[in-house]
Amino acid sequence: MATESILVPEGARRRGASRRRGSHVVAHVVLGTGGFIMAFPFLWQIIMSLSTNAEVQSVTPVLWPAELQWSNYAEVFDRLPFFDQLQTSVLITVIRTVAQILFCTLAGYAFARMRFRGSGVLLALVLSILMVPSQVYLLSQYQIIQGLGLLDSLGGLVLPGLFSAFGTFLMRTAFLAMPAELEEAARLDGANPFQIFWKIMLPLARPSISVLAITTALWSWNELLWPLVITTFSDRMPLSAGLATLIGDRTTDYPVVMAASLLAMAPILILFIVLQRRVIDGLASSGLK
C-alpha cells in the first residue's frame, strides 16, 4: 500500500504538493486565528496577574500594565494557604493515579485473561457504573466518608476515586488485544499468574496505562464538586476548591486571583506541554473504542 505513493511520478507528486501548499494558507489563517483565540484567555490572565487592580477594572482595557506587579504573586500566599492546598492537590493526584493503575490493571487483567466463577456478572456490575452520572452516588459517598470520620481529610478526598470502572474497562480492553503466546511460554517456564502479569503483561500494556494515568491525573487535579463537598476548612482543600473560595469576596482583588489561578494550573499545564504528544494521542485514542 505505502509503496504506491512512491510509485507516483515525481512530477505528479510535486504538482499535488504545490496545490496543497496553496490551500495551506487558508488553513494557517483559520488555525492561527482559532489557536490565538483559544490561548488568549491564558495570555490575558497572565497580563492581568501582573497589573494593578485599577488597570484590570479600567473601562478601556489596559493591554500591558504600566509597571509589572510581581508582588501580586507574593500576595497569593497571604490570601490562600497555597502550599497546603498544593500539597493536597499533589497527594490526591499521585495517590489516585497509582491506586487506579494498580487496581484497574489487576482487575482488568483477570477479567480479560482468567477464568473464574461469576466473572461475567462481576464485570457487568462494574461496567454498569459507567452509565450512571456521578451525582447519583455523591450523596451516599459523602455519608460513607462522614461515617468513617474522614471529612476534611486526605483519606476522604481520595477514597472513592481510588477505584474506577472506566480504568477497568480500559485495561481489560488492552489485555484482551494481546497475544496469548507469551503467557503460555511463561507458564511452561513455571511462572505463577502474578509473575506473568507483573513481568510480562504489565509492561506490554504501557500505552493504555499511560492513558489511564493521564485521565486520572487530569481529573484529580481539576475536580471541584467532590472536594467542595468533603472539605470545609481552606487549609484542607485542594487548589480547585481553594480557588473557588476567592470568588464572591465583595472586594475582589482581581490580579491576585489571576495569579493564584495561574499558579494552580501551572503544574498540570507544564506537564501537559512537556508530554503533549503522548497526552493528546492518548486521549484521542481513548475515544476510539
Partner 1 sequence: MTTVSRPTAVPAPSTPDGAGPAGPPAHTPRRRPSLRGDGAWPWLFVTPLVAGVAVFYLWPILQTAGYSLTESGPFGGSTFAGIENYLALFADPRLYLSLANTLLYTGIVLLGIPLAVVLASLLNLPGLRFASLYRVLFFLPYVAMPTAVAMVWRVIFNGDFGLLNFLLGTVGIEGPYWISTPGAAVVAVAIVGLWSSLGFSMIVLAAGLKNIPPELYEAAELDGASRWRQFRAITVPLLTPSIFFVTIITVISSFQLFDLLYAILGSSNPVLPRSMSLVYFFYREGFVDNDKGYAAAIAMVVFLIIGLVTAVQFRLQRRWVHGD
Interface with partner 1 in residues 221-280 (CB under 8 A): 221-225, 228-229, 239-241, 243-244, 246-248, 254, 257-258, 260-262, 264-265, 268-269, 272-273, 276-277, 279-280
Contact (Cβ atoms closer than 8 angstroms) between residue 260 and residue 82:
yes
182: Cβ contacts below 8 Å, ≥ 6 apart? 200, 201, 204
One residue of 75, 84, 87, 113 binding partner 1 per CB under 8 A: 113
What is the Cα–Cα distance from 201 to 180, expressed in whole angstroms?
10
- Residue 134 binds to partner 1 (criterion: CB under 8 A): yes
- Scan for cell 507483573, then name that residue: 198
Does residue 58 bind partner 1 (CB under 8 A)?
Answer: yes
Among 91, 144, 150, 191, binds partner 1 (CB under 8 A): 144
Eight-class DSSP state of 196: I
The set of residues, in sequence order, having a beta carbon less than 8 Å from that of 151 and lying 6+ positions away, is 145, 230, 231, 232
Distance CA 168, CA 20 (A): 43
Q: Given candidates 6, 11, 23, 251, which one binds partner 1 under the rule CB under 8 A?
A: 23
Nearer to partner 1, 44 or 70 (CB): 44
CB of 176 to partner 1, least distance (A): 6
- Whichever of 68 and 125 has its CB closer to partner 1, that residue is 125
- Calpha distance 243→86 (Å, rounded): 11
Reduced to 3 states (helix: H, G, I; strand: E, B; else coil), residue 159 is helix
Q: To the nearest whole angstrom, how small is the minimum distance from the Cβ of residue 107 to partner 1? A: 4
How many angstroms separate the CA atoms of 100 and 97, rounded? 5
In this structure, are residues 177 and 158 in contact, taking their beta carbons and an 8 Å threshold?
A: no
C-alpha cell at 89: 492537590
Determine, following the binding rule CB under 8 A, whether residue 81 of this chain makes contact with partner 1: no
In the list 179, 189, 203, 251, the residue contacting partner 1 (rule: CB under 8 A) is: 179
Does 86 contact partner 1 by CB under 8 A? no
Select from 11, 78, 124, 135 the one that contacts partner 1 (CB under 8 A): 135
Instruction: Please state the closest distance from residue 227 (CB atom) to partner 1, in A.
Output: 10
The count of chain residues that interact with partner 1, using the rule CB under 8 A, is 119
For residues 71 and 54, give the distance between their C-alpha atoms in angstroms, rounded to a whole number.
Answer: 15
Interhelix angle 276-286/254-274, nearest 10 degrees: 80
45 binds partner 1 (CB under 8 A): yes
Per CB under 8 A, 48 contacts partner 1 = yes
> Looking at 177, 199, 207, 233, which residue binds partner 1 (CB under 8 A)?
177
Contacting residue, 192, 199, 207, 233, with partner 1 by CB under 8 A:
192
Using CB under 8 A, which of the segments 64-72, 77-85, 149-157, 190-198 binds partner 1? Answer: 190-198
